[in-house]
Structure formats: structure tokens, C-alpha cells
Structure 1
Amino acid sequence: MILLTPTQHSEYELIDSGAYEKLERFGPYILARPEPQAIWDKTLTDSEWDKRAHAVFRRDKGSQEKGQWIVKKEIPDRWNFHYKTSELNLTARLALSSFKHVGLFPEQAVNWDFIATKLRAMPVEKPTVLNLFAYTGMASLAAKASGADITHVDSVKQVISWSRDNMELSGLKDVRWVVEDAMKFVKREVRRGKKYNGLILDPPAYGRGPDGEKWLLEEQLNELLSLCALLLEKDNYFLVINLYSLGFSSLIVDNLMNSHFKGAKNYESGELYLSDSFQKKLPLGVFSRFSDVDVQ
């Protein structure tokens, strides 16, 4: 098992964490949000958090997800976040959502870089990539910017619109958008005999498809991965999967991947984390990834 964290980035900072919360800076704006895995004490005082935060998310009574933002300082409804490396130059629109999210998971930058690096080294003119549970599309845009023919699947129409905005802000075009339940889409692609050079999966613990289809990670992930194994090309391939669920360890992921992707080259798995400014490491999910593409 390995631990991965992004390199420091000028537009994002995890300032402090603890007491089931995290204090983060996205561009010029500082937000305080719930974080169930930050079970330790905060380093800064509550008054220091309150003084710094532009907005604080408070859950609705009895809800684990929904809530409302309490705005303490002037902050726009939307603002842009820039992710720039030697290989990528992406822009995302951020906003305060009713589910505590802002449109970006900064720990995933390690996978955006992985996707870009593998695709740029792949000896295929236009690799095909499928992104399932694709949210606002930063992984899709990393693939597109690296020369891929990308299919972006999410069950929420509004999120697809958000992804399209990010594509345009990033100066990209021609992403294939699909509003559909991921399992239903994958089953149809298998029946069609479709193959992809790259698969990206970021399934939630639970969710609903556009027609009310039920998704439960523990019940359906095994089947989904068995189908994905039929979609992945035998040569010139990569796969990335992220799981943010308190019930899943990297050992579970290893067992699943070894079952369905025997012989996968350059396999690695472990945890993603972010370090706050006081060097506390905040775990933010488990991952697995592999590829037969060698990078010089």
C-alpha cells in the first residue's frame, strides 16, 4: 500500500483539520466544511477558524449530506480555479453547493496527472477513455487535454452542465456527454463489444440514476468491475478507481482488482491524503490504478 498526495498548488491549501471539519483555501476564498475522518483536535482555535472563513457549511438536522452555507465574508456565487502543470492547464468553476461540495476534489490531482502522463505516452493516435461517475469532469478534461476521445458519464444533468462549463473555460471541446446510470451504460457498452484504452471510476457510496436506479457501492461494485474488465483493451491501457467510503479499505480494493484484472501491469493501490499546514495527514479515500504504458 502506498500513500499519495498532490504537490503543493498555489490555488489550494488545506489550512487546518480536526473536530470533524476541514478549513481550506480555494483560490482567494477560505471555506470550513464537515470532514468525518478528521477525528483529532483542531490546531487553530475556533475563533481563528471563524475569523478566517468566508463561508461555513452546516448540515441540516438529521442529514449526513445536505445542509446550508453560512456566508461570513463577501464571496461570489461562482469563481474560477486554475490547475496548471507542465502537462495540464485546466480551469474549473467552483460554487457552494447544498451538499457541501464546491465542484472539485483537490486530492484527485495525483490522478489527473497520472491520466495525462499515461495518455501522452500511449502509442495510440486517439485513445478512447471512459469516465464513470464523472462529476464536474476534471479527470475527463485531463484526458481530453492529453489527446483522448473521452466519454463522460454522470447521472445528474446539472452536473453535466457544470462539466461542460469547465470544458469551455479550459479551452477544450468535443467531450461526449452522457446523462445515464453508470451500470446501465456499462452493460450496454459490453453488449456492443465496445473497448476503451482508459477507464476512470469514482463511484459514490450511494446514489440514484436519472430514472431512480439505485446505486449501493458494497452491493454493486463487484459486478461493475467485472463488466469494466470486458471493456478495457488488452494493450495500451490504464485504469484508475477512487473510493471515498468509510467502510472500504485498500485491501478490499486489492481483492476486487486482483479478481477482475489479473496480470495488470504496474499495479499500485493505497490511500490519498492531504496534509494541512500543521502536517496532519487527512485521509481522503482509497485508490487503485495500473497501466501497461511505460513513461520515460
Structure 2
Amino acid sequence: MKNSMNISLSPVLSDYELLDSGDFEKLERFGRYVTRRPEPQAIWHRSLTEEEWRRRADAAFLRDARSDERGVWRLKPQTPDRWTVGYDHAGMHLRMRMGLTSFKHVGIFPEQAANWNFIYDRCRALAGKGGRPRLLNLFAYTGGATLAARAAGAETTHVDSVRQVVTWARENMELSGLDGVRWIVEDAMKFVRREVRRGSRYDAIVLDPPAYGRGTDGEKWILEEHIGQMLACCAQLLSPDAGAFVVLNLYSMGLSAMLARTAVRQAFGTPADEQYGELYFEDPFSKQLPLGIYYRFTR
């Protein structure tokens, strides 16, 4: 073992700011506009007043009383329901479209910028050894990790079961001035099983699985039940060469970075270098809001 570090990461983005959090909500700035939406981990009290939240928020998510997940956005006059934000790191210049969805998501998880940096830097290092590294992005959503890999010159495969978000990711690719991504609209488990049968190999694998989901043909995904099998398949797909890497994100409340580390190590073995911990943002009032856990290793 060369290096094993438990580190919580909080990236810096010029187009993002956590303005306040508490009472199960968060107030965020994305580019020019401020959103207000539910956040189950913000168990403390807000620091700003309700009046200040209302004054600042350009768009507020109102949960449907009949659903725990769905709702509608209330917009101030002249507030668009979609706009563009940017992110830069080293030689990477990404542009991504924001969109206010009925599931409270906005099309970007800004805490993932810490992993975008890692993916870009590692893919650049692999490319520096000659050839084009191959990266597989599973449960890839609107493609932040895909864009980072492609910006670094990696041959990138983007897999998601929802055609609309794959279209959204393609739009983000074009906004970022990139091309050449391989788009796959399919259940992730079905895809990796087929890749194992084909004997495919990748130099990097990124997994961002939801707690629960459905595939293109109604396949059911339950994280706790299926993550072990998914990791076992990915272990057969990852190149054995030095420099190959894996990034795993988990958003389910109650799961820990130690759990992710143990599951990945069982599937892949002990790595040369690993990092794990929480992804978070801190608001101006020193409240640290955890937004998921990550585990990543390099052979």
C-alpha cells in the first residue's frame, strides 16, 4: 500500500455558492441565479431569515403534497427555467446547461467538481504515457465526468438508461466545444455484463449509482442489493496496468465512505493509492453540508 487517505473534499467553483442551509433546505447560487430547494441532510436551522431567503431566491422548489420526490418550481419574473454555467480547471473548460426539473434536480451536482478534477488529471497522466485512455462512465446523468474525461483526451463511453438525460449530456458536450463521446442508452448492469462477455477493457471506470432506479426495459436497480455484483463486473473490465483508476460515488443517506472502500477493495483488491471521504460545501456561516461520499483508487 503506497497511500490511503480519508479526506473530505469541498471544491471551489466560480459559478456556484452555497449561500445558506438549514431546516431541510439549501439556498444556492448557480451562475447569475439563486435556487431554493429541499435538502434532507440540512438538519440544523437556517442562518438567514425567511424574508432573506425569499428575497434572494430566483427559483424556489415547491414539493407536491402527494409526492416525496416531485414538485414544481416557482420562478420570479425574468428568471429562465434553463441557463448555462461554466467550470474551469487546468486546461479544462466545461460549460453545462442548468435545468429546473420536477425532481428538484438542476442538471449539475457541483460537489462532483472535486472528482472532475481527479478524472481530468488522471486521464491526462495516462494519455502522457502514449495512446488514448478508455474511460467508462456508468449512471452518467448529464455528463460532468464524461466531459472531464473527454477534455483530457480520453476515449469516453457514457452510459445512462434515461434518453432525455443522455440528450442533455450531449448538449453539454457541444456547449463545452467537445465531441466524440460514445453514447449508450441502456441499463448499466446489462451493459457491463455484455462488456465482460466481450472481453472489453477500460483504463478508468466512474460509477455514480442512484439508491433506486429503473433500466430502459424496466430493470430494477436497488443499490444495496446490486452494487456488489456491479463492482465485480467492473473489476473484470478495468485494465490491470498501473495508472488505471476507479471513482465511485454514493448518495444514499446512511451509507459511509468506509462501506464504499470495503466493497471496492473486495472486488478489485488492495490498490496502490486510494482516497475516500465526504463531498461537501460550507456556507458563509460555517455550516458544512455533506452531499455524498466518494471512493477512488489508482492501480
TM-score by length of 2: 0.95
2: CA distance, partners of 1:62 / 1:220: 29
Match of 2:67 among 60, 63, 67: 63
Bigger Cα displacement from structure 2, 17-26 vs 122-131? 122-131
Deviates more, 1:53-62 or 1:221-230: 53-62
SS of equivalent to 1:143: helix
Q: Which residue of 2 aligns with 1:238?
A: 245
Q: CA deviation at 1:206?
A: 0.4
Q: 1:104 deviation in Å?
A: 0.3
1:51 is aligned, of 41, 47, 55, to 55
Q: 2:144 aligns with which of 121, 138, 149?
A: 138
Deviations 1:131-153 (A, max 9, x none): 00000001101000101000000
SS across alignment from 1:267:
strand
Offset at 1:70? 1.1
**Counterpart for residue 193 of structure 2:** 187
Aligned residue for 1:284? 291
1:269 corresponds, among 267, 276, 289, to 276
Structure 1 position 124, deviation (Å)? 3.7
Whole-angstrom CA distance in 1 between matches of 2:93 and 2:123: 15
Structural mapping, 1:202-221, within 5 Å? 202-221=208-227
Unaligned runs of at least 5 residues, structure 1? none
Contact 1:132 1:202 in 2 (8 A): yes
- The residue type equivalent to 2:94 in the other structure is L
Amino acid at match of 2:25: E
Q: Is the 8 A contact 1:69 1:96 kept in 2?
A: yes
What is the alpha-carbon distance in structure 1 between the residues aligned to residue 202 and residue 271 of structure 2?
A: 15
Q: Shift of the alpha carbon at 1:85?
A: 2.0
Q: How far 1:103 sits from its partner (Å)?
A: 0.6
Matched-pair contact (CA < 8 Å) for 1:54–1:74: no
Tell me the distance in 2 between the aligned counterparts of 1:179 and 1:258: 29
Matched, 1:89 2:93: yes
Q: CA deviation at 1:77?
A: 2.6
Superposition deviation, residue 74 in structure 1: 2.2
Counterparts of 1:16-55 in structure 2 under 5 Å? 16-55=20-59
Deviates more, 1:71-80 or 1:124-133: 71-80
**Paired position in structure 2 for 1:114:** 118
Contact 1:87 1:116 in 2 (8 A): no
Residues 23-46 of structure 1, C-alpha deviations (whole Å, 9 max, x = no match)? 000001000010000000000011
SS at match of 2:294: strand
* Matching residue of 1:163: 169
Match of 2:3 in 1: none
SS of aligned partner of 1:246: coil
Give the counterpart of 2:14 among 10, 16, 37. 10
Partner amino acid, structure 2, of 1:253: A
Unaligned runs of 5+ in 2: 1-5
**1:48-103: CA deviations, max 9, x gaps?**
00010001101112422211111134211321111112221000011111111111
**Equivalent in 148, 170, 174 of residue 180 of structure 2:** 174
State the distance in 1 between where 2:280 and 2:95 align.
22
4+ long deviations beyond 3 Å: none
List per-residue Cα deviations over 1:189-212 (Å, max 9, x = no partner): 000000000000000000111111
Secondary structure of the residue that 1:3 maps to in structure 2? Answer: coil
Contact map agreement 1:254 1:269 (CA 8 A) in 2: yes
- Which residue identity does 1:218 align to in structure 2? E
Residue number in structure 2 paired with 1:79: 83
How many angstroms apart in 2 are the aligned matches of 1:23 and 1:154? 29
1:226-263 CA deviation, whole Å, 9 max, x = no partner? 11100000013011010000021112112101211212
CA distance in 2, matches of 1:212, 1:239: 27
CA root-mean-square deviation: 1.0
How many residue pairs align between the two structures?
291
